[in-house]
């Protein structure tokens, strides 16, 4: 009998559960996938393994005879592999690629690099900018960890919600909008700059204004948050952007923060990675360290809290219509 570990694990589940559906649920795979595994097991063993009697399935005599040995083999293999997964951070040598939105890198990049170097001095960290278009690097393993304001719909991509942000308005000291309460009318009448890697002059704020019978004039689109904030400091342009991930930069520049004068949904922040790293202890360490670093900006929300989330094609860190993965 020639079976790989995946088929041995499937066989163990099938013999324990006594059904394709039960084994599939146990291993978190689809019933069709488990049926295909059963077919491969039957071909490899030359035995039916499970046969249908009425509305249920029962193991064959051969299956009953091998059940205890198969279970012992699977448990032994898992113990052996687990023993090899002991993580020694002091001896770890690896290059990780982290692709974050520029505002998140500015807010947390230094702290993440310092924490990584302190705990695992042999690890190298590559912080790269988000591209202007959606790319498959996460699936190909070229990017280890990615930030997103929406959950990916791509197969095999895992996500972790680590916080929710809110939109605020930033202007230079002495800006006319700082004189008195910021009304919707005064906000809409000002000149604005958007943050867009694609150079978009329109974002969801414009849609929200339209529903209220208002329209704003966007003078420019900046490719990064840092550029837009500097532009707001040097001119009378107004920039609307997430609060927590830009707070440190706004404070450094001395910008004035005003509340957005219209309701908007919270902005979720996700970390994403490929499922191939689920059981990788070094990657798990990096995910947890990145989560801890980012959550220092804001506490995680209750698990039951839901918000409108943009899809994987969203441009930057701003609210868009929900596209659940």
Whether 12 contacts 40, CB under 8 Å: no
Instruction: Assess if residue 273 is contained within a domain.
Output: yes
Indicate if 17 and 156 belong to the same structural domain. no
Q: Note the pLDDT tens digit of each residue in 3-60.
A: 577 888 899 889 888 889 888 887 878 989 999 999 999 998 899 999 988 878 899 9
CATH code of 232's domain: 3.40.190.10
The structure's pTM equals 0.64
| Structural domains counted in the chain | 3
Crossing angle of helices 281-295 and 102-119, rounded to 10°: 120
* Domain end marker among 83, 108, 142: 83
| Same domain, residue pair 179 and 59 | no
Which of 239, 259, 279 is at the close of a domain? 259
Residue 208 lies in a domain: yes
Do residues 148 and 123 share a domain? yes
**Phi, psi dihedral angles at 37 (to 5 degrees):** -65, -40
State whether 232 and 177 are in the same domain: yes
* pLDDT tens readout for residues 169-203: 999 999 999 999 999 999 999 999 999 988 999 99
- Are 158 and 171 within one domain? no
Nearest CA to 269 out of 303, 300, 248 is that of: 300
Q: Which of 83, 113, 128 finishes a domain?
A: 83
CA 293 and chain centroid, separation: 15
113 occurs within a structural domain? yes
Residue 32 domain boundaries: 5-83
Same domain membership, residue 286 and residue 157:
yes
> Both 249 and 193 in a single domain?
yes
Residue 291, domain member (yes or no)? yes
Domain check: are 180 and 241 in the same one?
yes
* Regions of the chain with pLDDT less than 70: 1-3, 78-85, 131-136, 299-325
């Amino acid at each position: 009998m020639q079976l790989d570990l995946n088929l041995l694990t499937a066989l163990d589940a099938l013999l324990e559960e006594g059904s394709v559906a039960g084994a599939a649920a146990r291993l978190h795979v689809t019933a069709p996938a488990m049926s295909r595994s059963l077919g491969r097991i039957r071909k490899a063993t030359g035995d039916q393994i499970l046969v249908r009697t009425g509305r249920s399935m029962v193991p064959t005599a051969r299956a009953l005879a091998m059940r205890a040995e198969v279970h012992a083999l699977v448990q032994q293999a898992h113990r052996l592999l687990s023993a090899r997964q002991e993580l020694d951070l002091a001896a770890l040598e690896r290059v990780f690629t982290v692709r974050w939105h520029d505002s998140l890198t500015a807010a947390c990049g230094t702290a993440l690099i310092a924490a990584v170097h302190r705990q695992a001095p042999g690890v190298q960290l590559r912080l790269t900018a988000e591209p202007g278009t959606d790319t498959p690097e996460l699936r190909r393993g070229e990017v280890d960890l990615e930030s997103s304001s929406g959950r990916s719909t791509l197969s095999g991509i895992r996500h972790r919600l680590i916080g929710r942000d809110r939109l605020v308005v930033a202007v230079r000291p002495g800006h006319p909008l700082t004189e008195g309460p910021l009304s919707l009318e005064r906000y809409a009448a000002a000149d604005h700059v958007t943050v867009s890697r694609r150079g978009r002059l329109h974002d969801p704020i414009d849609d929200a204004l339209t529903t209220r019978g208002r329209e704003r004039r966007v003078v420019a689109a900046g490719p990064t948050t840092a550029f837009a904030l500097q532009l707001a400091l040097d001119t009378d342009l107004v920039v609307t952007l997430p609060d927590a991930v830009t707070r440190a930069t706004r404070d450094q520049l001395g910008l004035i923060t005003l509340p957005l004068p219209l309701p908007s949904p919270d902005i979720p922040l996700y970390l994403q990675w490929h499922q191939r790293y689920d059981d990788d202890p070094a990657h798990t360490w990096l995910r947890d360290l990145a989560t801890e670093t980012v959550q220092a900006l804001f506490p995680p929300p209750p698990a039951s809290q839901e918000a409108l989330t943009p899809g994987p094609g969203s441009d930057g860190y701003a609210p868009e219509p929900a596209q659940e993965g």
